[in-house]
Amino acid sequence: MTDIALVTGGTRGIGAAIARSLKSEGREVAAIYHGDDDAAAEFRHNTGIPVFKWDVADETACRQGVALVEKQLGPVSVLVNNAGIARDGLFHKMSWDQWRAVLATNLDSMFTMTRAIIEGMRERRFGRIINISSINGQKGQVGQVNYSAAKAGVIGFTKALAQENASRNITVNAVCPGYIDTDMVAAVKEEVRDGIIASIPVGRLGEPDEIAQAVSYLASPKAAFCTGSVLTINGGQYIANG
Ligand code: CAA
């Protein structure tokens, strides 16, 4: 049976690279998106990967969306929780809306998406769940109290869920990308971005495919002994303990 992989935020940036990589290994992939219809249509056209639109922060939409994907493609065996947004600003100026939006999309989505899929994985005694955290969930970042809190939460979520599901042959791992050449990083003010690049020992931003290759490993049957881990890929910008 063909493996079915579902990638949230799968039509742009890191998620699109992950979707492409998982497809290139022979899986059927569903790419979930919420915002940019034109980018999704272009991605669909260029890759042949089906796209589905729903809000990963909406519990009902996730349950219904996953049911639709599974009806059309089959049971999901690889889930990549990648969808994320930033609403940067210093905390003393941050609004409740900035906080809620980031926590909902980046952390509530761990519950909504994974809850909709995990029971089937447990019944089938197989699953690969890969959660995209961030360097800023590990080290904290000025202007990103909301994002850093959500991404740190992703790491705790990963470690606990890994322990609960190891006996069912379901692995749960987190990947912490550093600053990657995506729209999200392009949105940072140029002078701030230059400073960020100067602080990366490798001397450049990462490429989306450099994250996708790691996700492909974690999604593979060969990674069966790797669970509850936090994989740091940041060009040496922050050397974390896990
Ligand atoms: N430490 C402490 N204070 C700082 C600071 C720092 N590093 N940088 C700026 N400030 C303070 C300034 O001193 C100033 O304070 P005062 O008013 O008291 O003097 C205040 O911030 C205002 O500075 P700005 O005029 O630059 O403020 P701003 O509100 O326009 O922007 C910011 C501040 C939101 C922090 C902005 O600099 C910013 O967006 N920084 C980038 C944040 C970032 O790295 N985002 C990552 C996006 S990519 C991503 O999220 C992907 C991923 O996973 C890596």
CA 86 – ligand 1 centroid, Å:
13
Tokens of 105: 């999309």
For position 240, what pLDDT does the model report? 83
Is the C-alpha dihedral spanning 176, 178, 183, 184 positive or negative?
positive
CB 23 within 8 A of CB 29: yes
The 10s digit of each residue's pLDDT in 81-125 is 999 999 999 999 999 999 999 999 999 999 999 999 999 999 999
Strand order across the 170-177 sheet: 51-53, 28-33, 4-8, 78-81, 127-132, 170-177, 230-233
All structural domains of the chain, each given as residue ranges with its CATH number in brackets, are 4-231 (3.40.50.720)
For residue 69, the number of C-alpha atoms closer than 13 Å in the C-beta half-sphere is: 31
CA 98 – ligand 1 centroid, Å:
15
Whole-model pTM: value is 0.96
Q: Mean pLDDT per 10-residue run, the chain (242 residues)?
A: 91 98 98 97 98 98 98 98 98 98 98 98 98 98 98 98 98 98 95 96 98 98 97 96 64
Strands 230-233 and 78-81: unpaired
Q: How far apart (Å, rounded) are the C-alpha atoms in residues 203 and 186?
A: 16
Active site residues: 147
Tell me if 89 CB under 6 Å of ligand 1.
Answer: yes
Amino acid identity of residue 96, one-letter, is W
- How many of the other CB atoms lie within 10 Å of CB of 67? 11
CB 147 within 8 A of CB 134: yes
Tell me if 233 CB under 6 Å of ligand 1.
Answer: no
